[in-house]
Amino acid sequence: MRGHRGPLSAAAFAPDGRLIVTAGTDGTVRTYACDLCGTVDDLVRLATLRLASTRRSFTAVERRLYLHED
C-alpha cells in the first residue's frame, strides 16, 4: 500500500471488502477505498496467484495471522 514510509504492521478490511485500513511501522494509519478490489475472498485469490508467480504460498503462520484460519 502506498503512503506509508515503512512496512505495514496491520491491515483490516471492512465487512464489504471495499475499505482497507492499514497501520504502518512509521506510526501512520491510512484508509483506502478499494472499488476495484472486490471482496476479501477476491483479494485472497489475487494474493494467492501473485504469491504462486514467485513460487511461494501463504505459510501456516500467515494463514492464521492474516486470514484468521486455524
With respect to residue 58, please indicate whether it lies within any of the assigned structural domains: yes
Query: Residue 36: pLDDT band by 50, 70, 90 thresholds?
Result: low
Domain assignment of residue 26, given as a range = 8-65
Distance CA(68)–CA(70), nearest Å, equals 7
Q: Is residue 1 part of a domain?
A: no
The total number of structural domains in the chain stands at 1
Residue 18 lies in a domain: yes
Query: String of b and e for 15-31 (b: at least 16 CB within 10 Å)?
Result: eeebebebebeeeeeee
> What H or E segment, with its residue span, contains residue 49?
helix 40-53
In the chain, % of residues over pLDDT 90: 29
Report how far residue 29's alpha carbon sits from residue 64's, in angstroms, rounded to the nearest whole number. 23
**Predicted local confidence at residue 26, as pLDDT:** 92
Whether 3 is covered by a domain: the verdict is: no
Residue 35 lies in a domain: yes
Whether 63 shows a pLDDT value over 70: the answer reads yes
pLDDT at 70: 77
Is the model's pLDDT at 44 over the cut of 90?
Answer: no
The verdict on residue 59 lying in a domain is yes
Compute the distance between CA of residue 27 and CA of residue 25 in angstroms, rounded to an integer: 5
